[in-house]
Chains A and B, each alone.
Chain A
Amino acid sequence: MAGVQFKQWALEYVLSDEETAQLELARKAAREIESSHANSTVVGNWAASIQQWMSPAHDDDQLDDIQASGGGNIITRAKGAYSMMLNRQPEYDFSSDSLGTIFTALSFLSSTLEALDKGTLKSDQGIPVSPVQSSCVIPYADLLSVQRLIGFFGSMFSYDHKAGITAASKALRQLSAMKGFKPPMGVKILEDVCKIKEDFRLQTALTRLEVYELFLRLLQDSAVASELQHKYGSSAGFILDLLELCANERDPRNLMTWFKTITVLLKDYDLSPEVAEEIFKTFSAYFPISLRNTTTQIAITADDLKEAIRSCFAAHHCISSFVFPFLLQKLDQGDAVTVAVKLDILKTMRACVESYGNPQISLAPYVEKLWNSLKYEVRNGDVKETIDATLDVLRAIAKRLDGTSGQKLNVSLLTDYVDLVIRDCRDDLSKPSYTKQAGLLLITVICATVRGYLLYNASFIDFLRQNIRQPKSPSHTDDLLLLLNSFLKSRMELVVQRGEKYREDQESLNCEAHTHLKSLFHDIYLPIWSKRAAEPTSEEGDVLKKVAEGLARLATQQVVQPTGDIVLLNSPPVCSEICSLLTEELIKGLDMNPDDSKSDDHTLEDQVVLALRTIVMVYRDGYAELVARAVAEIRKRDWANPSHHSLNSLRDLLSRLSFIGCSKIPAHIAMTTPSKKPYSPLQHFVTFVASLLDLFPLTRQAHEECLANAHIVSSLHAGLLWFRDACDEKYGNAVFTWGSTNQINLKEIPDDFFTAVHRGDVTLVSLSESSPSVYHEFVKLGLFLVVHLYRSATLGPRELWSERALVQVSQMAALITRMLSIDEQVSLNLAHEAFNFFRRPNDEAVEKNLSYVSSGLLTLGILQGLRPEAMTELVSLLSVYQSQLNKANSSQYALGGVAEQFMCDACDLMQHQQKASDIRGAICTVLANKFKPGPSFSNSESLTLNQTFDFWAEWIKNATSLEKGISSESFEVILPIALGVITGSIARQDKHVLDLVPILHQAISNKHANGEILAKSMGILFKPNNLLSPEYHAILKRFYRQWAYFSITKPLFALAQPAAADGHSASRYRIAIIFMVANCPFTIYQDDLDSLIPLLITSLTGGSNSNSFTGKDVVFTQAFAALQILTEILGNGPDALKSHLREIINGAKMIYSKCCGNVGDENLAATRTRCRKLALHVLGMIPLKFEERHIIAYAPPTQRMLAVACGDAVRKVREVARQARASWAKVA
């Protein structure tokens, strides 16, 4: 029964084209065998199921013979059928079809084996398998089937070499994984497979791959390996057979497996030198390997192949005597070797050096030869990659000669090598052309190991010292300093990594002599600096940069004390001297004349800044000294009427102080003399803040912008930003949380908190450098700083605080507030403080001191950082306007709270400043946005918001109507509030906005002048707005801008077309569209380009009568917006413009000429200049985006116009005109 089933499955398998179906059939067969517990009859039937394809079907006699002879032995039957087929070839149809069928039939067997449980196959009788095994008493229960199947599949390699090999290899690999598989069978498989001989290379690559996989599987098997060693010994005849078989392989995939097999042979087998040489010859013939580009996709790269062959080279030191001479010979071919090949050789060399065991024998004999070849790669090389790779090899040699696997070798191996290098390189240090290279070689070899460093560092420094004293040129000094700096860097790396590999290293470093290192500052760096610092030439400037870098390295050197503790190498006075030297350079800028030619080159100062930052991170007292000195220098100057240059110098100095102290968290390293101040990760931050607060105000004299004071506030802001980034880098984005027991009462913070901490009267929480609590403490101190600044700004003299400074304070508040959690924001009552400005009960009222803009900025700062949940009650403030505007003439406020009063003040129509309107709009944007319907909001708040929408809808309708319209001045003051509410609501896609849309559309088209104001203000709804960003906890829907564009802008396109019946409305809609689209990203409006482009053209050319409806300022700002949109379109989708090129070119030219000349209105001059510039920019982009045939007709007049534009009155415009002219000049 089972026999028929197997035949049926085999037939279905052969006929099927689908792999999954075939797999299922194989699984069925496997299950059948498993369920019969591998009964020999079942196994026999399974094997015989493919018989029909193994013999000509019509040859019944032969078949009968086979059946008669085979009987129960189905393996013999199948084999017989197979041999018969081969013997009768003349009659047999040996076409490719039938070969394919035989292949598929055999695949049925191999796939079944693959699906079969590995422990299933058993035998029904015990037959000794091999002489070796026959002597052992082992149960043969599992052997027979495996043994016989191996015999069957193994025989394929002797008979048929085309159809059965793949399946047979696959089957053999499966059989080798069976429980019943025994090592002697592996030997037999290898022998059987090798019989294929010359025919192997005729097989397809895929078939060969199966065979390679089989080899790898068998040779990796340790039991098979010992059986092979036992049988063949170190002469390893089977390896020679394998090498002969697999020579000439070219397929990349096969090579990968073959190289892996070779690596296994070299690593795991005991080989005689002759066999090792044979193996080496086989794989080295492929080196250097490359991969030809083919159209067929293979998942192997040239790098994979290089890596694979590299592991053959590095597999075992038994081939070292062949490898090193071979690689050196390849390397020494001179120019014949490309950089890529050279890199491959060097990497291979390094891999060999690093992995060969027993370096005394495998490496030491070749060291001199290696050095003699490699030194030229560095000495005369000009490719950085090759030089680096060579240095890697030289470093690896030193490390290997120092010791292996935690065991130090005899020191003479290393000293012989280093002596060799020093002998060759020492003299080169005095030759400027080779100084750098010689030094690199020396540093690489000496600093590769702690032992080498300790033995040779003093003499190396001595070589440098001698040469630095007698330099050949400034660039020679530069190179020598570079070497000294690199040496110090390498030394620190050795100190940091001490004891990682050898315990002895740590002990030796404890006893390191430091005198020659300590003298570096006074002997080398200081004399060079003092000699050149006064008036450096550009070459000497480079030397000074190296000195600054070196001083940083020197000051941060650490030494291990005999006790094992780490301290700084230099004493505090030396560190202080270094800091003072560098600080001198930093504060020089304050005295520099603006006409000094060097004042634009800041590279030395930048290097000094970096050096100082590095130094004060370990020599912590240095920062307080630096800041104190800088502050003293700043105080010496008069800031009442500073020059522009002085203000820039002040800005630079303060900015650098913030970077030096706050951009990294100081490290806790001991000094030889302990510091007076206890360590705190925040100590530099506190020093910086305390010193700057102490410095404020620099001037009490009120003048236009009070820039000196504003720079102090900006630097405090920079300090917060730097320290926040430093925390983010070190601790990740930790969430700030205070423990409930650790509540802070902001009212109790003294005014001189930071000064007290800086003086040491108040101590901060003791924290370690690695504790994330540093971040928490920072946010707390940041909050204290904000509180301090708010109180100063609201209670101190008004003239000290310019608008610029208040914007900075506001943004600092937003930065710190947003870092607080909801609970903290609530517990600190920040929603209240947004209007109270952290005043204490006894403080005077704000109104006396602050203008609306100032207090508005401070309010906005806190609101911007609040989370929606912490400001639920504030939504009701939006309704204040409703009541206030409804009784416009009333002087009575219905609301009593501070916040309400503040908001009502905002409605004071006397406040006609543009900035006051902007602030009102911004506050309303935040209030309208941070409204999250949910359990935390009551219905009344939703109701308030709805009423607010209704109110503003009504107000806009009335204010723009001819009957009830209000004055344009009043409209301009109040409109930002309405637009702010809409902008904030749009971001969270509030559906009530949709009810407002028709009213907005109607209002825009109203004949009242306010309609035009509304139209040109519509852009604010789409303008990228920092207030609406997720980091400030704004509520944002993902596609809110697309939603708003679709709802508000898109419906207007049809109405705005130049040919529309109502010219007035069309003109207004066009203005609105252009201002809205100009603030949108291209992707939002890219589908509407066909409707948009005519509008752009009309706004440039002025259309037939459109300008009669619009004010002059709108004409220019609208044209500017249109040009901005055109620039976007040209950049992202110029094809849409192809059919409008004539109009666009003419439009750009027209707007350019319209913007030329004196119109008289000063306010419009800047807009006109920007318009001219952008018009020329658009013109210049056109030839870059379109083929010549599209624009050649317009070239002559445009070129003439651009030539004239090159004489524009404004320099920047001339620059753009020249670029446009150059791009049009290419149009023939």
Chain B
Amino acid sequence: MEGRGLDNANPTILSVSQLPSRRRKGGAVRRGPDSKCDSIVYPRQHWPYGSGVSSGEDDEEEDEEEPIDEQDIFDLISTISDPEHPHTLGQLSVVRLPDIHLSPSPAKLPSPDALVTVRVDLTPTINHCSLATVIGLAVRCRLEQTLPPNYRVEVKMKEGSHAQDDQVNKQLGDKERVAAALENDTLQRMVDKMLSTCV
């Protein structure tokens, strides 16, 4: 890919704070200059005495049972790097929260092992983006590597967002073609590099 001019030299970029995120009830961890004494005056566990094994610094809220939802999927894939810009797919709005669909929806999940389909519609920054397939491949890889086996992944170009969305969708939907693409060392390296920013 080196030496090639950028498909879109000036994409619109969102800052990380503008991306959709899960707001915690307890408020974010305070990091201001006044937060030095927080561990003493606002401790996570206000009762410092007693026995037993310390339970770490977990919030009870974090232990609540919550099924995988659209925001989880967004968090998984929005941190993938763009192959040509030093930004993430979330920042470039290639991945958007409203374009992630879970079926059946998390609230109606009959059992934890029920088969769930995840559909992600990607919006390339320009409609002739030559890297749309690679981006789709990376999203697919990321989801397959991180979701449990009962989740089926469908990655598509959002309708009308790409000049050749049919072709790209066909490629991304074909398991064998995806597997074959990942056999290609160059492509695999590229995908690995894109996924290296995921946490």
Which residue numbers of A lie inside 8 Å of B, CB to CB? 538, 594-595, 597, 600-602, 605-606, 609-610, 613, 644-645, 648, 651-652, 655-656, 658-660, 663, 714-715, 717-718, 721-722, 803-804, 807-808, 811, 860, 914-915, 917-919, 921-922, 976, 979, 1016-1017, 1019-1020, 1023, 1026, 1075, 1078-1079, 1117, 1120-1121, 1124, 1165-1167, 1169-1170, 1203-1207, 1209-1212, 1214, 1218, 1221-1222, 1225
* Bound Cα distance A1206, B153 (Å): 15
* Bound Cα distance A1205, B113 (Å): 11
Query: Which A residues lie within 8 Å of B38 (CB)?
Result: 655
- B34 CB contact (under 8 Å) in A538, A658, A1169, A1212: A658
Per the 8 Å Cβ criterion, residues 40-64 of B in contact with A are: 40-42, 46-56, 58, 60, 62-64
* Given A1167-B55, A1210-B63, A1218-B146, 17 other A-B residues pairs in contact with their CB atoms under 8 A: A606-B33, A644-B27, A648-B26, A655-B34, A721-B40, A860-B49, A918-B50, A919-B49, A921-B49, A921-B51, A1117-B53, A1165-B63, A1205-B148, A1209-B66, A1211-B62, A1212-B63, A1214-B72
By the criterion CB–CB under 8 Å, are A1019 and B52 in contact? yes
The verdict on B98 contacting chain A, using a C-beta distance below 8 Å, is: no
Query: Which A residues lie within 8 Å of B32 (CB)?
Result: 602, 605-606, 609, 652, 656
* Bound Cα distance A605, B28 (Å): 14
- B17 CB contact (under 8 Å) in A600, A1019, A1206: A600
* Bound Cα distance A1222, B198 (Å): 11
Query: Which B residues lie within 8 Å of A1019 (CB)?
Result: 51-53
Q: How far is the CB of A366 from chain B (nearest CB, A)?
A: 43
By the criterion CB–CB under 8 Å, are B63 and A1170 in contact? yes
Query: Which B residues lie within 8 Å of A860 (CB)?
Result: 49
- A1222 CB contact (under 8 Å) in B30, B47, B60, B145: B145
* Bound Cα distance A804, B43 (Å): 10
Per the 8 Å Cβ criterion, residues 144-177 of B in contact with A are: 145-151
Q: How far is the CB of A919 from chain B (nearest CB, A)?
A: 6
By the criterion CB–CB under 8 Å, are B149 and A600 in contact? no
Query: Which A residues lie within 8 Å of B33 (CB)?
Result: 606, 609-610, 613, 659
Interface centre among B15, B26, B146 (most CB of A within 10 A): B146
- B66 CB contact (under 8 Å) in A811, A919, A1211: A1211
The verdict on B4 contacting chain A, using a C-beta distance below 8 Å, is: no
By the criterion CB–CB under 8 Å, are A644 and B25 in contact? yes
* Bound Cα distance A604, B33 (Å): 12
Can you name 27 A-B pairs with beta carbons within 8 Å? A538-B18, A597-B18, A601-B17, A606-B31, A609-B32, A609-B33, A609-B34, A645-B27, A648-B26, A663-B34, A918-B51, A921-B51, A922-B49, A979-B51, A1019-B51, A1075-B53, A1078-B53, A1079-B53, A1165-B63, A1203-B149, A1204-B148, A1210-B64, A1211-B72, A1212-B62, A1218-B146, A1221-B145, A1225-B145
- B41 CB contact (under 8 Å) in A660, A715, A1218: A715
* Bound Cα distance A652, B34 (Å): 9
Interface 1/0s, chain B 64-92, versus A by CB < 8 A? Answer: 11111000100000000000000000000
The verdict on B5 contacting chain A, using a C-beta distance below 8 Å, is: no
By the criterion CB–CB under 8 Å, are B148 and A1209 in contact? no
By the criterion CB–CB under 8 Å, are A648 and B27 in contact? yes
Contact (A714, B42) CB under 8 Å given A609-B34, A1204-B149: yes
Query: Which B residues lie within 8 Å of A1206 (CB)?
Result: 146-148
Q: How far is the CB of B128 from chain A (nearest CB, A)?
A: 30
Query: Which A residues lie within 8 Å of B62 (CB)?
Result: 1210-1212
The verdict on B197 contacting chain A, using a C-beta distance below 8 Å, is: no
* Bound Cα distance A510, B72 (Å): 64
The verdict on B23 contacting chain A, using a C-beta distance below 8 Å, is: yes
Query: Which A residues lie within 8 Å of B67 (CB)?
Result: 1209
Q: How far is the CB of B142 from chain A (nearest CB, A)?
A: 10
- A1023 CB contact (under 8 Å) in B46, B51, B112: B51
Interface centre among A655, A979, A1203, A1211 (most CB of B within 10 A): A1211
Query: Which B residues lie within 8 Å of A595 (CB)?
Result: 23
Q: How far is the CB of A1081 from chain B (nearest CB, A)?
A: 13
Query: Which A residues lie within 8 Å of B30 (CB)?
Result: 602, 652, 655
- A1209 CB contact (under 8 Å) in B55, B112, B150: B112
The verdict on B35 contacting chain A, using a C-beta distance below 8 Å, is: yes
Query: Which B residues lie within 8 Å of A651 (CB)?
Result: 42
* Bound Cα distance A655, B147 (Å): 41
* Bound Cα distance A1078, B55 (Å): 11
Contact (A807, B40) CB under 8 Å given A1206-B148, A1207-B150: no
The verdict on B107 contacting chain A, using a C-beta distance below 8 Å, is: no
By the criterion CB–CB under 8 Å, are B28 and A1207 in contact? no
* Majority secondary structure of chain B interface residues (helix, strand, loop or mixed): loop
* Bound Cα distance A1099, B125 (Å): 54
Q: How far is the CB of B62 from chain A (nearest CB, A)?
A: 5
Q: How far is the CB of A813 from chain B (nearest CB, A)?
A: 14
Interface centre among B15, B34, B60, B151 (most CB of A within 10 A): B34
The verdict on B37 contacting chain A, using a C-beta distance below 8 Å, is: yes
* Bound Cα distance A1169, B62 (Å): 10
In the complex, the chain B residue whose C-beta lies closest to that of A1121 is: B53
* Bound Cα distance A1167, B56 (Å): 11
Q: How far is the CB of B46 from chain A (nearest CB, A)?
A: 4
Query: Which A residues lie within 8 Å of B52 (CB)?
Result: 1016, 1019-1020, 1117
In the complex, the chain A residue whose C-beta lies closest to that of B60 is: A1166
Query: Which A residues lie within 8 Å of B40 (CB)?
Result: 717-718, 721, 811
By the criterion CB–CB under 8 Å, are B17 and A538 in contact? yes
In the complex, the chain A residue whose C-beta lies closest to that of B71 is: A1211
Query: Which B residues lie within 8 Å of A921 (CB)?
Result: 49-51
Q: How far is the CB of A279 from chain B (nearest CB, A)?
A: 52
By the criterion CB–CB under 8 Å, are A918 and B37 in contact? no
Q: How far is the CB of A515 from chain B (nearest CB, A)?
A: 34
In the complex, the chain B residue whose C-beta lies closest to that of A594 is: B23
- A721 CB contact (under 8 Å) in B21, B28, B41, B63: B41
Query: Which A residues lie within 8 Å of B150 (CB)?
Result: 1207
Contact (A721, B148) CB under 8 Å given A609-B32, A922-B49, A1117-B53: no
Query: Which B residues lie within 8 Å of A1203 (CB)?
Result: 148-149
In the complex, the chain B residue whose C-beta lies closest to that of A1165 is: B63
Query: Which B residues lie within 8 Å of A976 (CB)?
Result: 50-51
Interface 1/0s, chain B 120-158, versus A by CB < 8 A? Answer: 000000000000000000000000011111110000000
* Bound Cα distance A655, B41 (Å): 9
Per the 8 Å Cβ criterion, residues 86-103 of B in contact with A are: none
Query: Which A residues lie within 8 Å of B28 (CB)?
Result: 600
Query: Which B residues lie within 8 Å of A606 (CB)?
Result: 31-33
Query: Which B residues lie within 8 Å of A1023 (CB)?
Result: 51, 54
Query: Which A residues lie within 8 Å of B49 (CB)?
Result: 860, 915, 918-919, 921-922
Q: How far is the CB of A1031 from chain B (nearest CB, A)?
A: 13
In the complex, the chain A residue whose C-beta lies closest to that of B58 is: A1170
Query: Which B residues lie within 8 Å of A1166 (CB)?
Result: 55, 60, 63
Q: Which 8 A-B pairs have the closest CB atoms?
A: A1207-B148, A659-B34, A918-B50, A1020-B51, A918-B49, A1209-B65, A606-B32, A714-B41
In the complex, the chain A residue whose C-beta lies closest to that of B17 is: A601
Q: How far is the CB of A1218 from chain B (nearest CB, A)?
A: 5
Query: Which B residues lie within 8 Å of A1204 (CB)?
Result: 148-149
* Bound Cα distance A606, B31 (Å): 9
Query: Which B residues lie within 8 Å of A613 (CB)?
Result: 33
- A1221 CB contact (under 8 Å) in B17, B21, B26, B146: B146
Query: Which B residues lie within 8 Å of A721 (CB)?
Result: 37, 40-41
Query: Which B residues lie within 8 Å of A1117 (CB)?
Result: 52-53
* Bound Cα distance A652, B48 (Å): 23
Query: Which B residues lie within 8 Å of A1017 (CB)?
Result: 51
Q: How far is the CB of A401 from chain B (nearest CB, A)?
A: 40
